[in-house]
Amino acid sequence: MSSKTYRVKEAFYTLQGEGAQAGRPSVFCRFSKCNLWNGREDSREQAICDFCDTDFIGIDGQNGGRYLAQELTDLLIRLWPDMSKGQPYVVCTGGEPLLQLDEALIEAMHNAGFEVGVETNGTLAAPPGIDWLCVSPKGKSEVVVSQCDELKLVYPQTDAMPQRFSAIKAAHRYLQPMADFRPAILASDSHAAAREGLSADNTKAAVEYCLQNPQWKLSLQTHKFLGID
Ligand SMILES: C[S@@+](CC[C@H](N)C(=O)[O-])C[C@H]1O[C@@H](n2cnc3c(N)ncnc32)[C@H](O)[C@@H]1O
Ligand SMILES: Nc1nc2[nH]cc(C(=O)O)c2c(=O)[nH]1
Ligand code: SF4
Ligand SMILES: [Mg+2]
């Protein structure tokens, strides 16, 4: 057995809020670190991805820590209510999960009975075995993944407009309105769609784009409307 450890910011059970699997009970495994931003507010402006809505630094969140593949899988099993009910589903996210997720961990998750979903920025090669791959391109970064289950583009992004990704093969193409992410603005705006940063302007623009380009569908971050993790 490998002694490789995985650094996990947090792990929790909730409903997938976004994309084609929205509404599906899911264990989220949020890996630490990203290759497109160091996660510090003071360097957001210089980051390749500058609109991230997530804290992925360190291992100090709910159920966070350093885990061996089997230890992490055991944690995910504990978070699923009953492995005999439904099709257990884990969403590997982050940070950027493909900095850490490898075949050995996917195999451990599969052996436990999980279907494995991944949310990635698409800049790193994906290991084999992933059951549901969601690619979400960021700014000027180069997407190396050429095929996925869903392309979920945050909209609008000046350097990553939908036309740029027409060559990527995807069963589903979604635009997801960019939510605000700046802590100061979220704190000062009593609306900011119940403080989750949901943007009426970006939603309206995404709706318009989908209506005029019907190969694209709208993805809303439903967990933010619901006030769940
Ligand atoms: C935090 S990212 C982590 C996974 C991976 N690094 C990625 O970017 O896809 C999870 C999802 O949230 C989306 N996301 C991040 N910030 C957002 C924002 N401000 N508004 C809307 N969606 C956002 C990402 O595009 C991605 O689909
Ligand atoms: N409920 C819920 N759905 C999600 N879909 C993608 C998320 C992510 O942060 O990767 C996310 C998240 O953080 N919560
Ligand atoms: S690539 Fe994903 S995790 Fe990294 S900064 Fe962007 S949205 Fe956040
Ligand atoms: Mg999220």
Do residues 216 and 162 touch, judged by C-beta distance below 8 A? yes
Do residues 202 and 189 touch, judged by C-beta distance below 8 A? no
CA–CA separation, 89 and 76 (whole Å):
9
**pLDDT, tens digit (0-9, with 9 covering 90-100), for 60-109:** 999 999 999 999 999 999 999 999 999 999 999 999 999 999 999 999 99
Q: Is 80 exceeded by the pLDDT of residue 223?
A: yes
**pLDDT, tens digit (0-9, with 9 covering 90-100), for 5-29:** 999 999 999 999 999 999 999 999 9
Per-residue confidence (pLDDT) for residue 69, from 0 to 100 = 98
Per-residue confidence (pLDDT) for residue 181, from 0 to 100 = 82
Mean pLDDT confidence for 191-214: 88
The ligand with the least distance to the CA atom of 25 is 2
- Of 80-94, 105-119, 174-188, the range with the lowest mean pLDDT is 174-188
Residue nearest to atom 3 of ligand 3 (CA): 95
CA–CA separation, 24 and 150 (whole Å):
15
Residues making up the annotated binding site for Mg(2+) are: 54
Active site residue 53: yes
Domains in the chain: ranges and CATH: 5-226 (3.20.20.70)
Q: What is the value of pTM for the model shown?
A: 0.97
Higher pLDDT, 183 or 57: 57
CA–CA separation, 201 and 89 (whole Å):
33
Higher pLDDT, 185 or 56: 56
Q: Are strands 65-68 and 5-15 parallel, antiparallel or unpaired?
A: antiparallel
Instruction: Find the Cα–Cα–Cα–Cα dihedral 13, 150, 153, 88, rounded to 10°.
Output: 0
Per-residue confidence (pLDDT) for residue 185, from 0 to 100 = 64
How many whole angstroms from 129 Cα to the centroid of ligand 4? 23
CA–CA separation, 144 and 65 (whole Å):
29
How many whole angstroms from 188 Cα to the centroid of ligand 2? 24
Mean pLDDT confidence for 165-181: 97
Confidence of residue 184 (pLDDT cuts 50, 70, 90): low
Higher pLDDT, 79 or 196: 79
Per-residue confidence (pLDDT) for residue 56, from 0 to 100 = 98
Active site residue 223: yes
Confidence of residue 153 (pLDDT cuts 50, 70, 90): very high
Instruction: Give the ipTM of the model, two decimals please.
Output: 0.99
CB proximity list for 75: less than 8 A, separation 6 or greater: 11, 63, 67
Confidence of residue 176 (pLDDT cuts 50, 70, 90): very high
The secondary structure of 44-87 as a DSSP string is TTTSSS--------SS-STT-EEEEHHHHHHHHHHHSS-TTSS-
Active site residue 52: yes
> What is the pLDDT of the chain when averaged over all its residues?
95
Pair of tokens at residue 8: 């996990």
Burial of 123 (0-12, 13-18, 19+ CB in 10 A): buried
